[in-house]
Amino acid sequence: MISRIGIAAMILLAAPILGETKAEEQVISNNAPRPRVAVAAAKTTPTLTATPDDPAWADAAPIPLNTLSLSRTPSPTAPIPGTEIRLLWAPDWLYVRFLCKDDQTYLPSHQPGEPVFHGDAVEIFLDPVGDCREWIEVEINAKNEVYDQITLCTGEPKWDRSLRLTDDCIAREIWVLPNGALKNLRTAAAPWKVNGQTVGWIVDAAIPAPEFLKRTGLKRFHTMTLRGDFLRYKSIPRASGTGRDLLSLTWSPMVLGIPHRCPAAFGFINLSAPTP
Residue 141 lies in a domain: yes
Are the CB atoms for 144 and 14 separated by under 8 Å? Answer: no
Q: Cα–Cα distances in Å, from 207 out to 32, 82, 142? A: 28, 24, 18
Which of 33-47, 100-114, 198-212 is least confident?
A: 100-114
Number of domains in the chain: 1
* Amino acid of residue 172: R
Q: What is the largest CA-CA distance in the chain?
A: 57
Residues 6+ apart with CB under 8 A from 69: 231, 248, 249, 250, 253, 254, 255, 256, 257, 259
Pairing of strands 83-90, 36-41: parallel
- Assess if residue 21 is contained within a domain: no
8: pLDDT strictly greater than 60: no
Q: Which residues constitute the domain of residue 210?
A: 4-15+35-271
- Residue 133 has phi, psi (to 5 degrees) of -105, -20
The CATH number covering residue 153 comes to 2.60.40.1190
CA count, 13 A, side-chain hemisphere, 233: 25
Quote the CA–CA distance of 119 and 116 in Å, as a whole number.
7
Q: Which has more pLDDT, 188 or 276?
A: 188
CA trace torsion 61, 48, 266, 85 (10° rounding): -40
Residue at 56: amino acid letter? A
Q: What is the pLDDT of residues 195-248, one digit of tens each?
A: 989 999 999 999 999 999 999 999 999 999 999 999 999 988 887 778 888 889
Q: Is residue 225 part of a domain?
A: yes
Specify if 135 maps to a domain.
yes
171 vs 114, residue with greater confidence? 171
Helix (H) or strand (E) holding 220: none
pTM score, whole prediction:
0.89
3-class secondary-structure state, position 71: coil
Is 28 part of a structural domain of the chain?
no
The one-letter amino acid at 245: D
- Residue 29 domain-assigned (yes or no): no
